[in-house]
Every structure is written in structure tokens, then in C-alpha cells.
A and B are shown apart, each in its own frame.
Chain A
Amino acid sequence: MNGPTLKVENLHTHFFTEKGVVKAVDGVSFEVARGEVLGLVGESGSGKSITGFSILGLVDPPGRVTGGRILFQGEDIVGLSSKEMRTLRGRRIAMIFQDPMMTLNPVLSIETQMVETVLAHENVSRGEARTRSRDALGMVGIPSPDERLASYPHQFSGGMRQRVAIAIALLHRPELIIADEPTTALDVTIQSQILAQMQGLTKQLGMALVWISHDLGVVAGLAHRVAVMYAGRIVEIGPTDDVLDYPTHPYTIGLLQSVPANVPRGAPLLAIPGMAPPPLQRPSGCPFRQRCAFATTICETEPPLDAAGAVAWRCFHPQARRAA
């Protein structure tokens, strides 16, 4: 199939709380192609996880997608019935969560949790479903998968549980995987193993992968393209090397300077001053302007999307392309 696997256009996901409307995702657009990894980075509360949940139709009330389109293989999946969404979820679009300690049901065996996923989408025998489950466990590098099927989540380490979750996500060879900070809760050694594995599997199975993370180091090593989110919007998007080596948006620059590895030893770390604005009190215009060293009065109006080459940004004061 031609065209991107996933194309998100001007997505708005709002939460209608008693105190007001929280615009968690406020006009996000990006696309991911087959075999491509898109890194979606940002601070906590920037709306990156909600973007992921919106794609799967898993936003809990009082939140809902209020505008925009989500084109999956060219078909708009916003507003599909819950039954139609369910046939997509787990089969053609899969998701991996942040905390492997919490994502598996503690009182059901791994076999139950895998077999039910197979049977939810395909009319096969239990034996067949079990074989598929075992093979998926083997594929993510779990030793003696046949015996491990009978185990319960508490008998696995965190890294192993995340592998099980990945195996479940891979059961139906999905075309798209949304990974919501899947390595954040893991040791660095386990983290790099899982990263390598995901990278290999994406290539091998030709999946599109949206990797949500706040860890720029992880994204730098994994993603082909990166989108930086701030206060519900993408402020800069482009090929990973361009965005991370020559950042344009002041927020991206600030993020990169906050990474300890990017600063000479002993030099003070440069933290971004202030805090992200509370979602109900976002300023007009550019939401970053109160923390931005380059802000002027023009920033009180909405910054347009500018682009140069493959990189696009939303800023009135794009910084010269300089190495950060």
C-alpha cells in the first residue's frame, strides 16, 4: 500500500472537566510510514500519551477527540463505532505501555492473556492460539517459552514482563505499534536490549512505530524522525539528526541543553526556567513564550508553521541552525 501507514491531521483531544476544558492535544499533525520509527518527545503533560491513546480510541471520559482526522492506511478512524475500533485494536494497531508491572493482569496466566488476544480477532483453535503465543514469546527472546506460558506475571522480572507485553502486541503482526515510554521503567541494560529488539522487529515485520518518550537519548538512537511536543502541540518535527543536531525551536534547544551528556563535565546544566503552563491557564499565542529567552510581543499571537527542508517548526524566532 502506498502512502503513510498513519497520518494524523490537526488532531484535537479535549477533556471536559468541571473546571474547564483541558486541551490536552491541540492541533497535532504528523505521519509515519511503513518500517519507520517516529519519536514523539516532550515533558510530562505535553499531550504525547494522549495523542497515542487518541489513535487507539482509548481516551477515557471526560476526554474525547474533538477535531481532526486520524488516517490509518488512508481510512479515517475517528468516529468509528466501538465495535469497528475493537477489530483494529490489538490486530492492526497495537500498543505497549510504560509500566510493565501494571499492564499484565496479576491473576491471569501469561497463556490466558495471550490466547485471549489471539481468539479476540481470529477464529482458531485454542491449540493453534497457544502455538502462536509460544512463538511470539520466542520471538521477543524469552527463554523456554513453552514453560513460561504457564507462568503468572509476578514470576517475571520487569524487563521480561515488558517483553511479554511486546509479544502480545506482536501476536497479530500489527501494521502500527504505539509504544508509550516502554523502557522508562527499566534498567539501562534491559532498556538497550529492548530497544535493539524493537528496532529489529520494526524492520523485519515492516511495522510503523510511534515511540513516545521523554528520553532524547533513546529517541536519538531509535527514531528516524522526531516530533517535539509542548503544551498539546508539536513545536518542531523533522528527521532525527536534523532536529537533534541543529534544533530550531527554542524549546528543543532547551530540552537538549537539559541532557547531562550534552554539556561538558563540570559545566552547569542549563535547565529550562519555569514550568510548563497548567493546562487550564495556557497563555495566548505561543505557549512557550513565558519561559523563552527569545520571546517578543509578536509571540502573543499564534505562531505559524514554518519549514525549511524536511524540518518544520512553530516559532517566530527560529534559531540559526547551530549545533547544540
Chain B
Amino acid sequence: MTVFIIRRLSQSLLVLFITSIIVFAGIYAIGNPIDILIAPDATFAEREQAIKALGLDQSLIEQYGTFLWNALHGDLGRSFVFNQPSIDLILNRMPATLELAFVALFLSLAIGIPLGLWSGLRPNSVLDETVMTGSILGFSLPNFWQGMMLIMIFSVWLGWLPSTGRGEVDTVLGMRTSLTSWSGISHLILPAFNLALFKISLVTRLTRSGVRENMPLDFVKFARAKGLSERRIVSVHVLKNIMIPIVTVVGVEFGGIIAFAIVTETIFAWPGMGKLLIDSIMRLDRPVVVAYLLVVVTLFIVINFVVDILYSLLDPRIRLGSAA
């Protein structure tokens, strides 16, 4: 276990290092931010001064060297646009995105697993066909369209839920959350559901195929022969076997939810990190983009680590020491 953690940690640092090079060079290649940052009627002297102040007069290698040196000292640079530490900008917005992502994850599991079990245990019934058709819609309808339809139905026609922004926010255990008040929750429902729809379909299908794969196996028949209740067979024997593929896929997808909730955040004007990323790319705000991607890569590394640990808890045949 210790060996596993040490090896994983050194791999992670390497990944972060390589990501930083690629992102840095990529953003550098897109264009010179100075053209966007200063007014078109600025004098040559003003322009020169701004370039110097931002360190844009140095070569790419020099700029990267400075960035790396600062990064190793815990400073990921200041935003060109906001003139604030870029990491502060990101961490400021992160709780909103994390909240949205966790609620979406919860919805996808809380709805997807029961639906999958339900239809998997009654294959080819009307219910099963309905759920399967519904999941195809969930897969194939574009996310932004689903979002607009949700707003149209629940905000415009029915008027039940607000369509934009984040509601009341309370601080609980140092985290700012909107889960403590109805205003907060009502603002959260539509974006979270929009973000979760695709995952609900995915989890439903994974669960259903897992059930159909596992139910005919001998261990299920043996469990029945032991006199266990059908409820225990499904919720313990079968479900624990199914959780392995679900954890794999959901783990990968969860990183995606956090990092790229951009479409949903844009539609519902949710003040999260995704919107910050889009704005920063438009303004060529390089320190923010680089810092953002490093944060996202770190999140992915953490999620993968958690998934690996969950594996070893779910499947006794997996031992972490031998995992690469």
C-alpha cells in the first residue's frame, strides 16, 4: 500500500509537469494577450511597459522557467485580467462547481442504479423497454438542448424553479453550500439534473447489463438454494459484483463533470469554474488557464486514486501493491 502511494505520487508529479509544458506552450502559440489586454489607442510606450510588466518580452523558455520556479514556490501566477493570484480565482469558484458535480453524481447513482436494477430484473417488460428508450434519449439529446428544455418547462411554463444563478449560500464547515436553504436547492435542481441526465442513462444501462450478466450465474442460483431472500441476493450478491464496472466508469465521468461542466454552467449562469475557464481562454489569460488545467489534472489524479482504493474494497481479488 505504501509502495503504491509513493509510486502513484511520483507518477502524478510527472503528469503535472508534462501537462504544464503542453498547456503553457499551447496557450503561448494561440496569440499574444497584449493585443486584448490594452486599449487599441494606447501609446507605444504604454504598450512596451505593459509587455514588460507581464513578462511577455521574454522568450517562451524563459517565461516557462519563471513560471515553473514560481509554481514550485506555490505561486501559479497572477491573472492578467483580474490582477489577482490565479489560484485564488479558481478556488473561489470551485465550491460552486464541486457542489453541482457532487449533486449530479448523487442523482445519477440514486436514479440510475434503481432504474437499472428494476429493468434488468424484468427484461423485455414494458417498463424495461420504456427505461431503455428513455436512456437512449438521455444519451443522444445534446446537453445544451436538454438544458434549454428544462428551463422552458420548469421555469417558463410551470414556473416551479428558477432558471439562472445560485441561490442563497450558507457556510457549513468552511464550505459555502446552497444545500441548506430552499432558495439554494431550488436553484441547484435544474443545472444538477441537466448535468446528471447523461450519467443517469449511463449508470442505468451499466446496471441493467450487469444484472442481466450476473443473474444467470451459478452463485445466484446457489444463493437461492441457500434460502436467501431475493432482496438480499440482488442488493448484496449481485449489486456488489456490478459496482466494479460502475465505479470505473463513474470515476472517469466524474472528473469530466467537474472539469467540463461548462455548457451547463453557461446555460444556467452558474458561477463555477467552467465559466471562468471559457472567459480566460477568450481573453488569453494564460496564468488562469494554466492554473485551471493543473487543478483539473490534480482532481483527475485524486479521483483515480479514490477509484483504485474503491476497487480494492469492492473486489478482494485486486491488491493495490501489484497495480501499476
Binds A, one of B101-109, B225-233, B260-268, B278-286: B225-233
A152 within 8 A of B: yes
Q: Which residues of A contact B314 (CB under 8 A)?
A: 107
Nearest-neighbour CB distance to chain B for A274, whole angstroms, equals: 31
Bound CA span A95–B225, Å: 6
Q: Given contacts A109-B316, A152-B317, is CB(A89)–CB(B218) below 8 Å? A: no
A103 within 8 A of B: yes
Our pick among B221, B224, B315 for the contact of A107 (Cβ within 8 Å) is B315
Residues 88-99 of chain A, each 1 if its beta carbon lies under 8 Å from chain B, else 0? 111100110101
B8 within 8 A of A: no
Q: Which residues of B contact A152 (CB under 8 A)?
A: 316-317
Taking A95-B222, A97-B218 as known contacts, 12 extra A-B pairs with beta carbons closer than 8 A to each other, sorted by chain A number, are A60-B216, A86-B229, A90-B225, A102-B218, A102-B219, A107-B240, A107-B244, A108-B237, A109-B316, A116-B236, A120-B227, A152-B317
Nearest-neighbour CB distance to chain A for B35, whole angstroms, equals: 59
B241 within 8 A of A: yes
Q: How many residues of A contact B (CB 8 A)?
A: 29
Q: Which residues of A contact B126 (CB under 8 A)?
A: none
Q: Is the CB of A107 within 8 A of B241?
A: yes
Q: Is the CB of B227 within 8 A of A86?
A: yes
Q: Is the CB of B219 within 8 A of A116?
A: no
Q: Is the CB of A99 within 8 A of B218?
A: yes
Q: Is the CB of B225 within 8 A of A56?
A: yes
Our pick among A56, A95, A102, A109 for the contact of B217 (Cβ within 8 Å) is A102
Q: Is the CB of A104 within 8 A of B219?
A: yes
Interface centre among B225, B229, B240, B317 (most CB of A within 10 A): B225
Bound CA span A195–B241, Å: 32
A293 within 8 A of B: no
A176 within 8 A of B: no
12 contacts between A and B (CB under 8 A): A60-B216, A86-B229, A87-B227, A90-B228, A95-B222, A102-B217, A105-B223, A105-B241, A108-B240, A109-B316, A120-B226, A120-B227
Q: Is the CB of A58 within 8 A of B219?
A: no
A29 within 8 A of B: no
Our pick among B222, B229, B237, B315 for the contact of A120 (Cβ within 8 Å) is B229
A106 within 8 A of B: yes
A121 within 8 A of B: yes
Nearest-neighbour CB distance to chain A for B324, whole angstroms, equals: 20
Q: Is the CB of B227 within 8 A of A88?
A: yes
Our pick among B216, B228, B241, B244 for the contact of A116 (Cβ within 8 Å) is B228
Q: Is the CB of A117 within 8 A of B227?
A: yes
Q: Which residues of B contact A104 (CB under 8 A)?
A: 219, 222
